[in-house]
A and B are shown apart, each in its own frame.
Chain A
Amino acid sequence: MSVPRLQFEGISKVFPAVRALSDVSFSVGAGEIHGLLGENGAGKSTLLRILSGVYRPTAGSVLIDGRPVTLNNPVAARAAGVAMIHQELQQVPHLSVAQNMFLGHPLTRGGIFVARREQERRAAEALAALDPTIDPAVPLGSLKVAQRQIVEIARALLDRARIVAMDEPTSSLTPSEFERLAEVIAGLARDDVAVVYVSHKLDEVFGICQRATIMRDGVVVGSVDLAQVSEKAVVSMMVGRELAQEQHRSHASSEVRLSVRGLASATKVRDVSFDLHRGEVLGIAGLVGSGRTELLRLLAGADRASSGRVEIDGKAIKLSSPRDAIAAGIGLVPEERKREGIVPLRSISSNMALASMGVFAPRGVIDHARLKRVAAEKMKRVNLRPFLLDRPIRLFSGGNQQKAIIGRWLAAGTRILLFDEPTRGIDVGAKAEIYHLIEELAAEGHSVIVVSSELPEVIRLADRVLVVRDGTVAAELDRADLSEQAIAAHAIPQSETQGRQGAGHRVGA
């Protein structure tokens, strides 16, 4: 066999007090799409940072086409042919698509003036093969996340990258967007690019990768040929134990807790009506941009509705701010945890108490003893790990941050919990815990709404699913009728389904 395109040889990385990687070795051939799997903290991100020149390894070396390369900084990595597609896109929203693609090394005329038109022409060329609908002259911020990802890939093409590393590229993509991305990645592979693909979603990795390397606690557990192993085997390699497959159990009662009628916003949501019962988990599925997130934000009081009526236990409520929603017993666990969920520098306790300060300070001064007691109780309830209540929340993994946010609503006595992408960026083990927690909350009589792009997640959790399309409810599916096909059929706008899916034509406006 020829020399692999990319080779890690005995890579170790030691941070003060932490050994992040130890003796990591594996290789990726030209034209291979190689999955990199592991829980959060397994060392995948550290390895990618070494590959992209952000960190320098303590020991070991990276070989490209058999030659050791020194990747001292991101520029060197780029020069060596490595392109990195980040989980959180590192782009400048105010600049145009083309400007972003040439960020850091703009095309110039005479070395002084930026050759704007030339940049846009070249950008359009690179984009043509991927998504010709993207206009290189528009501000990047006006594009959807999926398109922004495509722009990143186009940038890698422009750089003539020989190695493309993707960190959770699909965490916010819908199935059809994922399919498009998969085609793009397959195209890269046909051009002999080596692709390192990091994802938590095993079905994707199995779908598009040939081989995968599994990491745990900073070491390689093994490299496997994905055609010859089961998903279950890979999961147990990742977590080091078998995960029990849970069965769905419904706790929904017939008592209506939340009743929404004709809810609409100025922008994305139009005429949404539904009931949510006590103990029910209601799934909301739909494409990104269908108005799912906006609907949740209306219910959470984060945005104002332009019309419609919301009742809790038969009484109409006002939702003009999150405070109103919280007072009515509604709490939102937002999609973008870092941006909308946590106050990074503050402790777990403080983050938890934020929504219920009035409870902890009945006479204006915070009763810290009581706060500590409640924090200990709630965090035990959600199984926070490590159990350090005074530690800043930013030092916790995504899954544990999410648990703390759930604890926030438990402390506030919230009865209706709204989850937007509850397990986005959360690893397999913690994911199962969050699922379990959601089910327990329902069993205790909480009413839950789960918005998710991951159809298996919706199907795993929901007693009933609303499929949202173009800002309105396109279909309501009972547990018995739930399947990925059924959801997709209702979620995809008709123009896209023509000739493919008959079902999509009958429902909706």
Chain B
Amino acid sequence: MTDVTEHTAARPRAEFLHRFSLRDAGTLIGLVVILAVFGALVPGFFAERNLINILQQSSINACLALGMTLVIISGGIDLSVGPTAALSAVISASMLVAGVPFPLAIAAGFAIGLVCGLLNGVLVAYVGLQPFIVTLGTLSTYRALALIYTGGNPVLGLPAGFRAIFNGSLFGLPLAVIIVAVVALIAWIILKKTPFGEYLLAVGGNEEAAYIAGVPIARTKIAAYMISGLLAALAAQILIGRLGAAEPILGNLWELDAIAAAAIGGASLMGGKGSVVGTILGAVILGTMRNGLTLMNVQSFYQLLATGLIILAAMLIDRVTRGRG
């Protein structure tokens, strides 16, 4: 019990293992098992092209799930991510179609995401409403705004230059994957290395204690919702770049996949617990399931079933390995 400081400083490897928590290791094992099963069942599953495909297919959900993870850690939930993305998408898209310069249109889309998040955060943190109900309300509200704005019609004909931004690739990886990887790295740094990360964990872990310890509760929560909104907007840009069009009904049920990825990754809906690495692995697990089952020509009904079972299995394993409380 004397030389703790020397210990930790002298063992970067142990430090690294410590950071890579046991729970994340469990999620990784889950992913490896799923990959192995599909690798054995599906010829060509491990082809580089298919693996990249999986990452690309997972990237939008991963993007949303990262924001969701931060919100869940703070003790909240954000059900409005899909409609936030839709609103951001149709506004950016209509600006693009009207010939507004790309950076400005993209920035406007991001601003929409931030404002949507701000409204959620203020209603939760200052008005004191329950996050589930607040974001359930804004889920409908934001969706309605997107529909009203577009009259229910898709915004078509996005300029090729804009599409090229998000459809490009770098070092053989799709740009969307790289963008999300960078976002994940930033989220990891936020959670592990900044006071804001500590505040998120403290606010979700015990709000009253955090308050007494001087944590800025309202600011922390609002920031979490704003990040979630921003990432929903980013996901929207990636998607409309890929599709070349923005539909007001885009992002339907996205919130559920995002919550699933975070939960598989070890986030506790009670707050105070969650992992960026776990969430990314969770999103890739869901993406792999979909990809593998599609390649196996499994009917979509059964794909849904498999996804549901994976989520339940992950939670059960969590429960069993953790014991009570």
Contacts and interface: CB of A to CB of B under 8 A. Distances in A.
A282 interface: no
B220 to A, nearest CB: 11
B70 interface: no
A344 interface: yes
Interface stretch (A232-240, A249-257, A304-312, A357-365): A357-365
A372 B201 contact: no
B298 to A, nearest CB: 39
Interface stretch (A98-106, A190-198, A386-394): A386-394
B198 to A, nearest CB: 6
A369 interface: yes
B4 interface: yes
A322 B195 contact: no
A300 B216 CA distance: 15
Contact of A345 (B189, B213, B214, B272): B272
Contacts of A360: 195
A345 B273 contact: yes
A343 B206 contact: yes
Interface stretch (A21-29, A334-342, A479-487): A334-342
A157 interface: no
A323 B4 contact: no
A366 B198 contact: yes
Nearest to B15: A368
Contacts of B198: 346, 350, 353-354, 357, 366
A396 to B, nearest CB: 14
Interface string A350-388: 100111011011001110110011001000000000110
A376 B9 CA distance: 13
Given A322-B213, A332-B212, A361 B1 contact: no
A505 B210 CA distance: 42
Contacts of B273: 345
B5 A357 contact: no
A302 interface: yes
B213 A368 contact: no
Interface residues on B, range: 20 to 34
A181 B273 CA distance: 41
Given A357-B198, A361-B195, A372-B8, A344 B213 contact: no
B208 A387 contact: no
A370 to B, nearest CB: 10
B18 interface: yes
B194 A364 contact: yes
Interface string A132-153: 0000000000000000000000
Contacts of A344: 205-206, 272
A357 B212 contact: no
B214 A326 contact: yes
Given A342-B206, A350-B198, A322 B5 contact: no
B205 A340 contact: no
From B195, B210, B212, name the one whose CB has the most chain A CB atoms within 10 angstroms: B212
B185 to A, nearest CB: 13
Contacts of B18: 390
Given A344-B206, A354-B213, A387 B194 contact: no
A292 interface: no
From B195, B208, B211, name the one whose CB has the most chain A CB atoms within 10 angstroms: B195
Interface string A276-310: 00000000000000000000000010100000000
Nearest to A15: B323
B6 to A, nearest CB: 10
A408 interface: yes
B209 A345 contact: no
A368 B211 contact: no
B4 A372 contact: yes
From A343, A357, A366, name the one whose CB has the most chain B CB atoms within 10 angstroms: A343
A471 to B, nearest CB: 21
A137 B212 CA distance: 34
Contacts of A343: 201-202, 205-206, 209-210, 272
B325 to A, nearest CB: 9
Contact of A357 (B1, B9, B195, B205): B195
Contact of A341 (B9, B194, B212): B212
Interface string A51-82: 00000000000000000000000000000000
Contacts of A358: 195
Given A323-B216, A354-B210, 13 more contacts: A322-B212, A322-B214, A339-B208, A342-B209, A344-B205, A346-B198, A357-B198, A358-B195, A360-B195, A372-B4, A372-B8, A376-B5, A387-B4
14 contacts: A300-B212, A341-B209, A341-B212, A345-B205, A350-B198, A354-B202, A354-B215, A357-B195, A365-B194, A366-B194, A366-B195, A368-B193, A376-B4, A412-B214
